[in-house]
A and B are shown apart, each in its own frame.
Chain A
Amino acid sequence: MNKTNKKLNVPIKTKKTPRSYKFKTVSYFAVSVAVMTILINLFWIFPYISTKDPSEILGKYILGEGVVPENIIIIFLLAFVWFVLAFFYIVVLRSLEELIVAMEQSTAGNYKSRIKSFSLKGEFKILGTLFNRMMDHVQLAHTTLDEKVQEKTREVKKQAERLKQQNLELQKSKDDLSHALKDLKSLNDNLKLEKIKTDSIISSMGSGLIATGKDGNIFIVNKGVEEILQKDKEEILGKPAFLVLDFFDVESGRISQEEGPHYRALRGEAGSADLNLRTKNGMMITTRNVFAPMKLGDEIVGAVSILEDVTEEKQTELALKEFVSLASHQLRSPLTVVNWHTEMLLADNDLNAKTKALAQEILTQNKRMQALVNSLLNLSKVDFGTLDILKEQINISSIVDGAIANNALCQKKKNIVVEKHVDENLSLIYSDPIMLSEIFENLLSNAIKYTPEGGKIVLEVRVDDGHLFVQIRDTGYGIPEKDKPQIFSRLFRASNAKLIDTDGNGLGLYIVKKIVIKLGGSIWFESQENQGTTFFIKIPI
């Protein structure tokens, strides 16, 4: 029968306690007694026979002729032998049997097996004691070994668990890596595709594209640049941008390296610059450069710019500007002549009232024409994006006076009072006098136009916190509620204004708002129908 060692968890072979030894020992003992009896009898018979006549001996024995000393000796000898054998059995064989059983048990794995020493005698007791001690050591060694084995087993198990876990993790990592590799491959494919697309876009762009590294050397260039510069890619790539792009400022001539678009971008600037550019064959063209820094996080790693040949566009713009300039000059000159002469006529005291009235009408209509010309010229500037600002130190009070003077004729005709309140502490301000004149003249003209006879207009100007604040308040017809949202729209006229004055063109407030915005300011109004309107302007100065 196989049992399991609980501590070791391994099967051990056990043998039945060899009880047969006892019977064997008994049989040995019986055989020994028999043998000894025979031997003693032989000892007794043969020497006796050898010395006596056997029939004599037998006769004596049978006839009972007394016990001979030899017989007594023999009986004592037999008893002695029996006792010796019995002693042998008790002392030696039983002890041996105990030893054998204990050894059998110990070899069968029962390290607790001990000899009951009290049943042993003499040297066997010592032997048993020694055996027991040995077994104590063996048991202790076995227990220690067992514990160590168990400890080692636990460690091995833990190690195995760890290895299993690590194996699982490794497997997972392997799977993840496999997925990552797949993703990477897919990403790589996508990147390749994107690169092809980007390269295709860059090369098919009509405009030129130049990218430089942090050192200002060109590393990307497309066909557009080759065409504009009339240079091959090989002549451009790897060279500093300032050597390849020979830029000149439209007004001040050749620009320095630091003023070049790429170097401005490398300093973190982004913007646009129109610059003349000398091509390989020495031709000067006008280019528009839109530039920006290339960033990796917060770090500037290069610069990129779009280069466009805008020579034709610039020529058209220049021609347009010249036309507007010429048109404005040609249209305004006769108006000025009429204005000035009519003005002088009106100043002539010798003129009779009828003629004066006629002259006044000429002046009024001429001023209408003048206002229309100014509006159209300003509109063209708005449309062409040439409504530019030129700031200088100006006296705002004289600009307000000019606007009042230019509207004086109509104002007097309608008997409207114009009050001017300009902050006395107001010194020179920094703004565009032409644009401010346009604003004041337009708003004052509107206020006069849409205020009934005998009304009042108050014009207030003050400076506060770096801003010019203007209020033009009238006691006029006001703006109908439904028209308010569109009042600054191009060509829009309020419904009541159309009925009151049929000559308006719907451009005045549109242009005023454009100018105010161009000056960085804002304009708004408050109005109540039949009570009046107040326009507010706030412009940084």
Chain B
Amino acid sequence: MNENPKKILIIEDEIPMARAMKLKLENEGFSVKTVHNGKDAIDALDTEEFDCALVDIILPQVDGFAVLDHLRSKNQDMKVIVLTNLGQIEDRKKIQKFNIDGYYVKSNISIASTVANVKNILA
């Protein structure tokens, strides 16, 4: 067991998805926190430090763009992977502005590939 596991924040309103991803990442030795809306995400980012955030865009209360904006205003170095089912060009353009480390359409990527990508960027 890794004594200083990398801390991951999962920001995902689909609870089953968040739960599956949390389980998978914890199995891989990461420390994982999940939040299910934008407001809780901002609170978590304000109170804790994370090595990586997996961010969904369609979120209740505060959307993923606002969360990314807040995140980058506080921390330019944190690794960020956007996992969304939005594929519109406008959304992708907006997301690109936040200097992210990965952008994936959730339905097109397996959970194993997602975890592999997280491991890669934190390596």
Which residues of A approach B to under 8 Å, CB–CB? 321, 324-325, 328-329, 332-333, 335-337, 339-341, 343-344, 347, 370, 373-374, 377, 386, 388-390, 392, 402, 405-406, 433-434, 437, 441
Contact = CB atoms under 8 A, between A and B. Distances in A.
A329 B58 contact: yes
Nearest to A387: B89
A328 B91 CA distance: 13
Nearest to B13: A333
Interface in B100-123: 103, 105-113
Contacts of B96: 390, 392
Contact of A337 (B14, B90, B92): B14
Report whether over half of chain A's contact residues are helix, strand or loop; otherwise say mixed.
Answer: helix
Contacts, number: 83
A514 to B, nearest CB: 15
Contact of A325 (B20, B21, B86, B107): B86
Contacts of B86: 325, 328-329
Contact of A333 (B23, B89, B90, B106): B106
A332 B105 CA distance: 9
Contact of A374 (B88, B91, B108): B108
A370 B21 contact: no
Contacts of A328: 85-88
A386 B87 CA distance: 11
A342 to B, nearest CB: 10
Pick the 6 closest A-B CB pairs, nearest first: A332-B85, A332-B107, A388-B89, A340-B111, A336-B106, A329-B85
B90 A370 contact: no
B24 interface: yes
A434 B16 contact: no
B88 A333 contact: no
B17 A343 contact: no
B20 A341 contact: yes
A339 B107 contact: yes
A336 B107 contact: yes
A76 to B, nearest CB: 162
Given A328-B86, A328-B87, A434-B87, A333 B111 contact: no
Interface in B1-25: 14, 16-17, 20-21, 23-24
11 contacts: A321-B90, A332-B85, A336-B14, A336-B107, A340-B17, A340-B21, A343-B111, A344-B111, A370-B107, A373-B107, A434-B105
Given A374-B108, A406-B110, A336 B85 contact: yes
Contacts of B93: 390
A392 B90 CA distance: 14
A333 B56 CA distance: 11
Contacts of B107: 332-333, 335-336, 339, 370, 373-374
Nearest to A341: B20
B79 to A, nearest CB: 16
B30 to A, nearest CB: 16
A437 B109 CA distance: 10
A402 B107 CA distance: 12
A337 B16 contact: yes
Contacts of B108: 370, 374, 402, 406, 437, 441
A402 B109 CA distance: 7
Contacts of B90: 321
Interface in B52-101: 58, 84-93, 96
A315 B103 CA distance: 28
A8 B89 CA distance: 105
Interface string B13-43: 0101100110110000000000000000000
Contacts of A406: 108-110
Given A332-B85, A390-B92, 10 more contacts: A321-B88, A325-B91, A329-B84, A332-B106, A339-B107, A340-B110, A344-B20, A386-B88, A402-B108, A405-B113
A386 B92 CA distance: 13
Contact of B17 (A333, A392, A433): A333
Contacts of B17: 333, 336-337, 340
A389 B108 CA distance: 18
A321 to B, nearest CB: 6
Contact of B88 (A324, A402, A437): A324
Contacts of B113: 402, 405
A84 to B, nearest CB: 151
Contacts of A340: 17, 20-21, 24, 110-111
Contacts of A388: 89
A343 B17 CA distance: 12
